Amino acid sequence: MCGRYASARNRHDLLEEFEVELDDEEEIEPDYNVAPTKDVYAVLSRVPKVEGATEPVRQLRVIRWGLVPSWAKDPSIGSRLINARMETIAEKPAFRRAFASRRCLLPADGYFEWMPTADKKKQPYYIHPADGGLLAMAGLYEFWKDPGGEWLCTCTIITTAAADHLGEIHDRTPMCIDRAHWADWLDPRITDAAELLVPAGAAGLVADPVSTAVNNVRNNGPELIDPLQDTGDPSTLF
């Protein structure tokens, strides 16, 4: 699963990186310990609610992590739907409608996974592009209306089987979309998206052991992604 990630780029950088056409101008602070139920940046494509608009445009939105299906009676279900397995999203009632037309990209500098150690503890690793680039994690978003008529927009991260050395840390990993496929992934007019489920490979990613301070969601700051002292294990780079 993916239960924590880092998203520290400012809004203007994301607008440029993802060639956003419409910005709601809502800004959130850099977050080095993004956890479920937090507000996150999402890139999506929708037809604007303006007179005469007929074509979807790429937008940057702030939405909540933890998908709440439109049919849910209680938004608390979102805390259990932070991830959607790539293998079953086209079938699961909570995800299949969103998969058909409400796909998004969730920008991340990297993400965290925990690896069991010999002493039965878990060592957190920060997994990120070696070149300092961004990850475009595949996601789904959904709208839910509360009894008072207020709308809530939420999202989930799609996960896939981990490959190469990633699988030694955890058997699941966020599915990331290559830049060449962003437009198709975001296009709500493409309703049969099964062929788009081709995750980016693990090449060029670094897995650095980091402090267990990340275990506490109250901790935040760039020190959470600082590598621990060199362990001498060359397998952390792949």
Buried b (16+ CB within 10 A) or exposed e, 29-47: eebbbbbbeebbbbbbbbe
Alpha helices per DSSP H over 66-157: 96-101
Could you tell me the strand order of the sheet in which 31-34 lies?
A: 31-34, 5-7, 110-116, 122-129, 205-209
- Would residue 113 show up in a list of annotated catalytic residues for this protein? yes
Q: What angle do CA 98, 104, 106 make, to 5 degrees?
A: 130
Rounded-to-integer distance, Cα 130 and Cα 7, Å = 16
* Amino acid (one-letter) located at 21: E
Distance of CA 165 to the CA centre of its chain: 20
Are the C-beta atoms of residues 127 and 113 closer than 8 Å to each other?
yes
205's CB contacts (< 8 A; 6+ apart) are: 127, 128, 129, 130, 166, 238
Q: Is 153 marked active-site? A: no
From 26, 51, 91, 113, the catalytic residue: 113
2 CB-near residues (< 8 Å, 6+ apart): 82, 83, 111, 113, 137, 157, 159, 172, 173, 174
- Give the containing element (helix H, strand E) for 191: none
Positions annotated as catalytic residues are 2, 113
